[in-house]
Amino acid sequence: MIKLFKNKFMLILISLVVVLGTSSNISAALFKADIQSAAGLVIDAQSGQVILSKNDQQRLPIASLSKLIVIYMTEQKLTSQKLSHTQMVTVSADIAKFSQDNSVANVAMTSHRTYTINDLEQAALLPSSNAAAMALADFVAGSQENYYQAASKLLSRWGINDVKLYTASGLPSGNLENQLSAREVAQVALHLVNDYPDILKITKKQTATFPGTTGQAVTLTNTNKLLNHANGYNFSGLKTGTTANNGSNFAGYATVNGRPVITVTLNAPGEANFSDTLKMLDTVANKTAVTNLTSSTTLTIPNAKTTKGQVTAVAKEPFPVFYDKDGEEPRLSTKIKAVKPTFKAPIKQGTTLAQQKIFFTNPIQNDYLTTQNNIKYIAPKNIEATNFIVSWFRRLFN
């Protein structure tokens, strides 16, 4: 009995910790990744469900994956200030000079001409131009120093705290390097593709053109070797990164079992960042299935023009969940609750009437990158009000 009690207590404790958020040190992914990379992760790109992982909470050098942050902040500025991707930017003389340094990834630029934001984003994302990322940091924040502070505040709003960024590009600054965990990189990527999905139109390109220093068109080549790879995972992004002493990194956007996923590999030997990514996706493809959580509930709205005031609320949309296909299907342990104590007709179609927290009876299925979602239950059609007499009678005798 004591052993059984301890086991039940531990299951409850793990469930509580997972549901409280990402600050937990407990990782309950469905599967462990058997890869060469120091860390790895696969998540559902919409819900943030953690499907497979290895050492996903240790902060490691991320190199050019840092550029995903400046890309997010660029898209954020374009949206908030109603600017377009054709906005013209003049790069500083210092950045133009640095862009000529071919000892690191760069695309040559000059301070004597202007570049569109689209030009700079393509240069930063495809061949991983460090100077282009620095130019975007200046555009976003006015200076490199201001950028580090703004980027740290952005990450803090996402729950990624106590991060020190030393460069916008991801290059080392002396002995100091930008570091994030695999989970934190995945969270940055999750925000980027969900808040600004058009960025995938760039990251899925194998090549693009860039204005050369003398006006000629220069070809940019994507460093992502999994684009159009014969693997069936339909990669369309996102970013590679190579550290001087810690190996290669990759954040990918792909499809497995009909669902969009984000992958992360950190500090892989050689090009194992790509082979490890495929190995992780093979594991997910072979060992998981996806089910859509859908349900309905009945509420009583005394003045509704329905039989006895009974109203059916249906799930606004299916909620997809990965699970071990050799294990048990996900079962929610939570109840459906009305969003407010009472409703009064008329009620418009699509109004949210109830919700249910996504929390499963099996704790291993409760690992989500961010706070867990709710299933929303809505009115499937307009709900009309009955007459006063019927409403009064129901209230009196029910």
66, 128, 129, 236: which one is catalytic?
A: 128
Helices and strands counted in the chain (H then E): 10, 19
Contact 252, 68 (CB under 8 A): no
Comparing CA positions, the residue from 168, 163, 164, 190 lying closest to residue 120 is 168
Residue 322's Cβ-side half-sphere holds a number of Cα atoms within 13 Å equal to 31
37, 66, 67, 129: which one is catalytic?
A: 67
Asked if omega into 190 is within 30° of 0 (cis), the reply is: no
Q: Does residue 67 carry a catalytic annotation?
A: yes
CA distance 66 to 179: 9
15, 64, 99, 181: which one is catalytic?
A: 64
Q: Any known ligand binding at 239?
A: yes
Contact 217, 210 (CB under 8 A): yes
Number of C-beta neighbours around residue 112 at 10 A: 10
CA distance 299 to 310: 6
Q: Does residue 152 carry a catalytic annotation?
A: no
Query: 319: which residues sit within 8 A by CB, 6+ positions away?
Result: 47, 292, 293, 294, 358, 373, 375
Q: Does residue 128 carry a catalytic annotation?
A: yes
Q: To which H or E segment does residue 298 belong?
A: strand 296-300
CA distance 214 to 330: 60
Binding-site residues from annotation for substrate: 239
- List active site positions: 64, 67, 128
Binding-site residues from annotation: 239
